[in-house]
């Protein structure tokens, strides 16, 4: 009798494992082929990209009217996961970004239509972390900021298009010291 109860319990446990696995794996859909972003079967549901109602895994692309590629983004389980690339018309690379489980990670780079650098950011777990640089379209630096997990930290610098300093300050313990580039307000009422 005890042996029969033990076998019965093992059968229930096995059945529960099969049901749980079936449920977990039924929540994902993985069309291996790339899917156009204007495909009506792609829908955003609660922040998750779904294909035919199931979390999408694969590549989504968008085209320009002439048929050339505008953007391509990799997804896993409905979240951006992998490389996202964008192009200007004429197949000129616009940006290159990296995601993991829907969060920005690693180095993100962008370029102006003329091919010169536009930005370079570092991310950790969806937060700016490290040096962030931006340039004007002529290649001159616009700003160099430093971040620690989403917060300005250390030397922060900005320039006007003519190269003159717009801001030059240090952030220490959340406090800004130096030229922060804000205009002072004055009372003009007499």
Q: What is the pLDDT along the chain (190 residues), one digit of tens a residue?
A: 544 445 445 555 544 443 443 344 444 444 557 999 999 999 999 999 999 999 999 999 999 999 999 999 999 999 999 999 999 999 999 999 999 999 999 999 999 999 999 999 999 999 999 999 999 999 999 999 999 999 999 999 999 999 999 999 999 999 999 988 766 545 555 5
Paired tokens of 88: 């200007």
DSSP class of residue 39 equals -
DSSP class of residue 163 equals S
Bridge partners of residue 157, in order along the sequence: 144, 168
SS3 assignment, position 156: strand
Q: Which CATH class is domain 2-179?
A: alpha beta
């Amino acid at each position: 009798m005890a042996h029969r109860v033990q076998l019965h319990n093992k059968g229930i446990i096995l059945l529960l494992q099969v049901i749980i696995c079936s449920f977990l794996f039924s929540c994902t859909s993985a069309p291996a082929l790339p899917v156009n972003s204007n495909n009506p079967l792609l829908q955003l549901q609660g922040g998750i990209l779904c294909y035919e109602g199931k979390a999408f895994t694969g590549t989504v692309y968008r085209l320009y009217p002439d048929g050339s590629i505008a953007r391509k983004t990799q997804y896993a389980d409905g979240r951006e996961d992998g490389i996202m690339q964008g192009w200007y018309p004429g197949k000129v690379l616009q940006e290159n970004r990296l995601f993991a489980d829907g969060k920005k990670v690693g180095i993100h780079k962008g370029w102006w239509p003329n091919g010169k650098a536009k930005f370079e950011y570092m991310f950790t777990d969806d937060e700016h972390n490290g040096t962030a640089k931006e340039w004007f379209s002529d290649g001159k630096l616009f700003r160099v900021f430093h971040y620690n997990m989403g917060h300005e930290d250390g030397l922060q610098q900005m320039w006007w298009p003519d190269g003159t300093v717009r801001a030059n300050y240090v952030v220490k313990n959340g406090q800004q010291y130096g030229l922060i580039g804000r205009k002072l307000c004055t009372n003009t009422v007499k």
